[in-house]
Protein backbone atom coordinates (compact mmCIF):
# COMPACT_ATOMS: atom_id res chain seq x y z
CA UNK A 1 0.00 0.00 0.00
CA UNK A 2 2.96 2.41 -0.31
CA UNK A 3 2.47 5.37 -2.59
CA UNK A 4 5.79 6.47 -4.15
CA UNK A 5 6.81 10.01 -3.19
CA UNK A 6 3.74 10.41 -0.96
CA UNK A 7 4.88 9.34 2.51
CA UNK A 8 2.29 8.33 5.04
CA UNK A 9 4.37 9.92 7.78
CA UNK A 10 6.54 13.03 7.89
CA UNK A 11 10.24 12.90 8.67
CA UNK A 12 9.42 14.49 12.04
CA UNK A 13 6.93 11.68 12.76
CA UNK A 14 9.57 9.04 11.98
CA UNK A 15 12.21 10.75 14.12
CA UNK A 16 9.75 11.14 17.02
CA UNK A 17 8.88 7.45 16.85
CA UNK A 18 12.54 6.51 16.65
CA UNK A 19 13.40 8.62 19.71
CA UNK A 20 10.52 7.06 21.69
CA UNK A 21 11.72 3.58 20.68
CA UNK A 22 15.30 4.39 21.72
CA UNK A 23 14.12 5.80 25.05
CA UNK A 24 12.14 2.59 25.67
CA UNK A 25 15.19 0.48 24.71
CA UNK A 26 17.31 2.41 27.18
CA UNK A 27 14.83 1.58 29.95
CA UNK A 28 12.75 4.75 30.19
CA UNK A 29 9.19 3.98 31.31
CA UNK A 30 6.35 4.83 28.88
CA UNK A 31 4.65 7.16 31.39
CA UNK A 32 7.96 9.06 31.79
CA UNK A 33 8.20 9.51 28.01
CA UNK A 34 4.59 10.74 27.91
CA UNK A 35 5.16 13.20 30.77
CA UNK A 36 8.31 14.58 29.14
CA UNK A 37 6.69 14.95 25.73
CA UNK A 38 3.66 16.72 27.22
CA UNK A 39 5.84 19.16 29.15
CA UNK A 40 8.16 19.84 26.19
CA UNK A 41 5.21 20.48 23.84
CA UNK A 42 4.12 23.30 26.14
CA UNK A 43 7.62 24.62 26.85
CA UNK A 44 8.80 24.67 23.23
CA UNK A 45 5.36 25.26 21.65
CA UNK A 46 5.83 22.44 19.16
CA UNK A 47 3.90 19.31 18.26
CA UNK A 48 7.04 17.17 17.89
CA UNK A 49 9.48 18.03 20.71
CA UNK A 50 11.50 14.82 20.29
CA UNK A 51 12.79 16.11 16.95
CA UNK A 52 15.09 18.41 18.96
CA UNK A 53 18.77 17.57 19.28
CA UNK A 54 18.77 18.30 23.00
CA UNK A 55 17.04 15.10 24.17
CA UNK A 56 19.19 13.05 26.58
CA UNK A 57 18.55 10.13 28.93
CA UNK A 58 20.19 8.24 31.76
CA UNK A 59 17.88 5.26 31.27
CA UNK A 60 15.33 6.53 33.79
CA UNK A 61 14.60 10.17 32.99
CA UNK A 62 14.54 12.49 29.98
CA UNK A 63 16.61 15.66 29.98
CA UNK A 64 17.09 18.75 27.83
CA UNK A 65 19.70 21.52 27.84
CA UNK A 66 18.93 24.55 29.99
CA UNK A 67 19.95 27.52 27.86
CA UNK A 68 20.01 29.84 30.87
CA UNK A 69 22.38 28.05 33.25
CA UNK A 70 25.69 26.64 31.99
CA UNK A 71 26.39 23.11 33.19
CA UNK A 72 22.74 22.47 34.02
CA UNK A 73 20.09 20.48 32.23
CA UNK A 74 16.37 20.20 32.89
CA UNK A 75 14.43 17.05 33.66
CA UNK A 76 11.64 17.10 31.08
CA UNK A 77 9.67 14.36 32.83
CA UNK A 78 9.85 16.38 36.08
CA UNK A 79 8.62 19.63 34.49
CA UNK A 80 11.98 21.40 34.29
CA UNK A 81 13.68 20.36 37.52
CA UNK A 82 17.40 21.27 37.29
CA UNK A 83 20.02 18.49 37.12
CA UNK A 84 23.83 18.69 36.95
CA UNK A 85 25.08 17.75 33.48
CA UNK A 86 27.77 15.44 34.87
CA UNK A 87 25.08 13.14 36.26
CA UNK A 88 23.60 12.52 32.80
CA UNK A 89 25.91 11.65 29.90
CA UNK A 90 24.22 9.15 27.58
CA UNK A 91 22.77 10.69 24.41
CA UNK A 92 20.71 9.36 21.55
CA UNK A 93 23.19 8.77 18.74
CA UNK A 94 21.56 7.68 15.49
CA UNK A 95 19.66 10.88 14.75
CA UNK A 96 21.90 13.64 13.43
CA UNK A 97 20.96 17.23 14.14
CA UNK A 98 21.67 20.59 12.54
CA UNK A 99 20.95 23.76 14.49
CA UNK A 100 18.90 21.84 17.06
CA UNK A 101 16.58 20.11 14.56
CA UNK A 102 16.76 16.55 13.26
CA UNK A 103 18.44 16.60 9.85
CA UNK A 104 18.73 12.90 9.01
CA UNK A 105 18.46 9.46 10.54
CA UNK A 106 20.62 6.34 10.30
CA UNK A 107 18.20 3.50 11.17
CA UNK A 108 20.94 0.86 10.67
CA UNK A 109 24.59 1.12 9.71
CA UNK A 110 24.93 2.00 6.04
CA UNK A 111 21.31 3.12 5.55
CA UNK A 112 20.33 6.79 5.56
CA UNK A 113 16.93 8.48 5.76
CA UNK A 114 17.24 12.15 4.83
CA UNK A 115 14.32 14.25 3.57
CA UNK A 116 16.74 15.97 1.14
CA UNK A 117 17.73 12.68 -0.56
CA UNK A 118 15.27 10.68 -2.71
CA UNK A 119 12.22 12.27 -1.05
CA UNK A 120 13.24 10.77 2.30
CA UNK A 121 13.22 7.16 1.07
CA UNK A 122 15.85 4.97 2.78
CA UNK A 123 19.04 4.91 0.70
CA UNK A 124 22.39 3.20 0.96
CA UNK A 125 24.66 5.71 2.70
CA UNK A 126 26.91 7.57 0.28
CA UNK A 127 24.62 6.85 -2.68
CA UNK A 128 21.22 7.94 -3.91
CA UNK A 129 20.22 4.28 -4.42
CA UNK A 130 17.09 3.40 -2.47
CA UNK A 131 17.14 0.22 -0.45
CA UNK A 132 13.88 -0.83 -2.10
CA UNK A 133 15.40 -0.51 -5.60
CA UNK A 134 18.44 -2.58 -4.66
CA UNK A 135 16.40 -5.16 -2.74
CA UNK A 136 13.89 -5.59 -5.58
CA UNK A 137 16.66 -5.92 -8.18
CA UNK A 138 18.56 -8.46 -6.07
CA UNK A 139 15.45 -10.60 -5.57
CA UNK A 140 14.54 -10.49 -9.26
CA UNK A 141 17.95 -10.60 -10.95
CA UNK A 142 20.34 -11.79 -8.25
CA UNK A 143 22.74 -10.09 -5.86
CA UNK A 144 25.79 -10.35 -8.14
CA UNK A 145 24.00 -8.76 -11.11
CA UNK A 146 22.66 -5.99 -8.85
CA UNK A 147 26.07 -5.22 -7.34
CA UNK A 148 27.64 -5.01 -10.81
CA UNK A 149 24.82 -3.02 -12.40
CA UNK A 150 24.71 -0.37 -9.67
CA UNK A 151 28.47 -0.46 -8.95
CA UNK A 152 28.09 -1.23 -5.26
CA UNK A 153 29.57 -3.92 -3.08
CA UNK A 154 27.95 -7.22 -2.21
CA UNK A 155 27.74 -6.03 1.41
CA UNK A 156 25.54 -3.10 0.30
CA UNK A 157 23.22 -5.47 -1.55
CA UNK A 158 22.93 -7.67 1.56
CA UNK A 159 22.36 -4.56 3.71
CA UNK A 160 19.51 -3.40 1.46
CA UNK A 161 17.93 -6.87 1.48
CA UNK A 162 18.12 -7.11 5.30
CA UNK A 163 16.79 -3.58 5.78
CA UNK A 164 13.82 -4.09 3.43
CA UNK A 165 13.06 -7.42 5.12
CA UNK A 166 13.01 -5.66 8.51
CA UNK A 167 10.73 -2.96 7.10
CA UNK A 168 8.33 -5.56 5.72
CA UNK A 169 8.20 -7.49 9.00
CA UNK A 170 7.66 -4.25 10.97
CA UNK A 171 4.80 -3.27 8.64
CA UNK A 172 3.12 -6.63 9.19
CA UNK A 173 3.47 -6.44 12.99
Tens-place pLDDT, residues 40-85: 999 889 899 998 767 888 888 898 876 666 667 888 999 888 877 6
Of the ranges 29-38, 48-57, 59-68, 88-97, which one carries the lowest mean pLDDT score? Answer: 88-97
Question: Does 32 have pLDDT greater than 90?
Answer: yes
Q: Round to whole Å and give the CA distance between 96 and 104.
A: 5
Q: What is the pTM assigned to this prediction?
A: 0.72
Confidence of residue 169 (pLDDT cuts 50, 70, 90): confident
Residue 53 neighbours by CB under 8 Å, 6+ apart: 95, 97, 100, 101, 102
Amino acid sequence: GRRPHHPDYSFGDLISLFVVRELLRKGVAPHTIHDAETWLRKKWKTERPFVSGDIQTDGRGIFVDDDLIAGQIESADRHGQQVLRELVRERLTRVRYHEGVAAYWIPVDGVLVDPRVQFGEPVLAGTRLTTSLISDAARELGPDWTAGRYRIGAADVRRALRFEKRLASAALA
